[in-house]
Structure 1
Amino acid sequence: MKVIQFEQTGKPADILKPVDLPTPEPKAGQARVRVVASPINPSDLMFVQNRYGIRPQLPSLAGFEGMGVVDAVGEGVEISVGSRVSFTGLGSWGEFIIVHHKAVIPVPDAMTDDIAAQLFVNPFTAYAMVQDSGVPEGGWLMLTAAGSAFGKLVIQLCAKRGIKTIGTVRRDDLNDELTKLGLTEIINTETDDMATRIREITGGKGVPCVLDAVGGPTATEAMKCLGKGGVMLIYGLLSEQDPSLNVGLMIFRELTVKGFWLSDWMRRADAQVRQEVSKNVIEWLTTGDAQLPVEARYGLDQIAEAVEHADRPGRWGKILITP
């Protein structure tokens, strides 16, 4: 089988290569999935650069999620061969992958391959973070990098729940699309003073929660937008810069800054919560209400071009690997 592998960490386009490996057989509790499509997420690229929460054991496979068709199962696995599934597991950028049966989610016929390929990382993170934000219906939730695939999901989920959203962008070319998805207010970080705009929008109260993916100066300014007792949930570092924490603000506004990683959230959540989230996310994505656009598809032999495209500013949709 053909898979994407890297033997050293570094710039993804330089080190990711297609290689031929023997097709593995599933052991007890495992399923083998013939991969149909797998997205390129920021976490995938961070892992290849050794900047993620788990470290690659070299040589390493790449890609953390995807969708496909169950090809074979090991002992004790009840999933039927031929089932369409979404899955998580290292090595999704390949023709086949072995995954634990608990990391496989059967997807309904009404769900397209494109959406099923993106079912886990962004939708589950969006659902969990909006839950953890504690923002009620009618309240304000602020998010940085609003034009990202994740940001668009948060906007749509909040609109569905009646939560008002304020999103930051660096360019105005996606403003119309974001507004149609349900974004209430837009702040351009290149031309607007973030804290001033937030005071205008919220009548001086500030927002109760910020979801930050950028770090650096953007996160530093976003902290000033929090109201009394506000919380900033940091889930990414697109700027590759740490923010500066204003200790005075943290003390006198009683602010909380904490990290969010879906893997840890899933480990903390009990089985009932995980099942509820899975059910709600699948129902939400199957209705067709949520948009998960795909900008381009690449084969395994085009991996360098694919990861360069995924890292390109101004994308409007996800990049998929289609073995």
Structure 2
Amino acid sequence: MGPSVPALRVGDRVAVFPAPGAWSEHITVPAEAAVAVPDSLSDETASVLLVNTITSRDVLRAVDELRAAAAAPSDSPLLVSGAASAVGKLIVQQARDRGWPVVAVVRSDRAASTVRTNWPDVPVVVSGSGGWQRELEGAVRGRPVPVIADAHGGPFVREILPFLDDGGTLVVWGDLAAQPWTLSTLELLMRELKVRAVSITRWATRPGDIRAADRRAALQIAAQHPHLLAVHAAYPLAELPSAISAARTSGTGTVLLKLN
């Protein structure tokens, strides 16, 4: 511990981000990257404490700015795809904390059940079912949608864009489909739609006060909503195939590898 670091002590349990080389036995990180972890948080929760929450806050900063720029009415819903994912759940909760109506879009009935368990009053649409666009129209109820937060990507982008208000913005924060988009330029031009990408790889370039606020918020969210940071499963490295299988099938949480 450097002599100019007053907030931490040798022996403290910490979560760190960003921390290149974090799978090593020993690493050195800047003091600002380390957050003391309360005893009430498990190692599993601490391991996802920063990366997931910071991602969600980066997305919400973009959404907040875009809603303000569009002078969005207070009842304008935020459409969140991938809403049952580890980051998606954090986006939904914090959007609700801001008083925004949320409509969740998920890919399966199991993911829909996860959203309904956490927020019984949030409308949920399963995009893998027939007629889901009509269900989404009903959930939106004719209100303008200035921003959509999308984690699916791929062909789904073309299917969700019609729900975006003219001049609206698609905030892209994930690529669950891992497929190319199938859009024509005219589909964006005619309605002056915009795309804004948000990546945690750029978070280190944010101002220092924002990064500090994000770390504090991560601890607060963990204290208030610990279930949103719950880990689906943890496996030793020797059981890597089982971990991969769990990651492919869970759809609602993080799967960890434990090296020790």
Interval containing the TM-score (normalised by the shorter chain): 0.7 to 0.9
* 1:167 to partner: Cα distance: 2.0
Q: 1:286 aligns with which of 194, 214, 223?
A: 223
* 1:315 to partner: Cα distance: 3.7
Counterpart of 2:11? 82
Counterpart of 1:162? 99
Q: Output the CA distance in 2 between the equivalents of 1:85 and 1:216.
A: 37
Q: 1:314 aligns with which of 223, 226, 250?
A: 250
Greater helix fraction, Structure 1 or Structure 2 = 2
Counterpart of 1:97? 27
Q: Output the CA distance in 1 between the equivalents of 2:246 and 2:192.
A: 41
Residue type of the alignment partner of 1:130: L
* 1:198 to partner: Cα distance: 3.4
Q: How many residues align?
A: 249
Equivalent residue of 1:295, what SS?
strand
* 1:314 to partner: Cα distance: 3.4
* Length-normalised TM-score, structure 1: 0.68
The correspondence of residues 4-15 of structure 1 with structure 2, limited to 5 A, is none
Residue type of the alignment partner of 2:16: F
- Tell me if 1:142 matches 2:79: yes
Structure 2 gap segments, 5+ residues each: none
Q: Output the CA distance in 1 between the equivalents of 2:184 and 2:172.
A: 15
* 1:166 to partner: Cα distance: 1.7
Residue type of the alignment partner of 2:171: L
Q: CA 1:152 to 1:115, structure 2 compared with 1: closer, same or farther past 3 Å? A: same
Residue type of the alignment partner of 2:246: H
What are the superposed Cα offsets for residues 259-288 of structure 1, whole Å, 9 maximum, x if unpaired?
111231440x21222222222232122234
- Contact 1:194–1:222 under 8 Å retained in 2: no
- Contact 2:158–2:183 under 8 Å retained in 1: yes
- Contact 1:140–1:166 under 8 Å retained in 2: yes
Greater strand fraction, Structure 1 or Structure 2 = 1
What are the superposed Cα offsets for residues 122-171 of structure 1, whole Å, 9 maximum, x if unpaired?
11111121121124754311122222111111122222222222222222
* Length-normalised TM-score, structure 2: 0.83
Equivalent residue of 2:168, what SS?
strand
Bigger shift: 95-104 or 249-258? 95-104
Counterpart of 1:259? 197
What are the superposed Cα offsets for residues 17-68 of structure 1, whole Å, 9 maximum, x if unpaired?
xxxxxxxxxxxxxxxxxxxxxxxxxxxxxxxxxxxxxxxxxxxxxxxxxxxx
Structure 1 gap segments, 5+ residues each: 1-72
Counterpart of 2:237? 300
The correspondence of residues 63-212 of structure 1 with structure 2, limited to 5 A, is 73=1, 78=6, 79-88=8-17, 89-134=19-64, 135=67, 138-182=75-119, 184-212=122-150
Equivalent residue of 1:305, what SS?
helix
- Contact 1:122–1:150 under 8 Å retained in 2: yes
* 1:246 to partner: Cα distance: 4.2
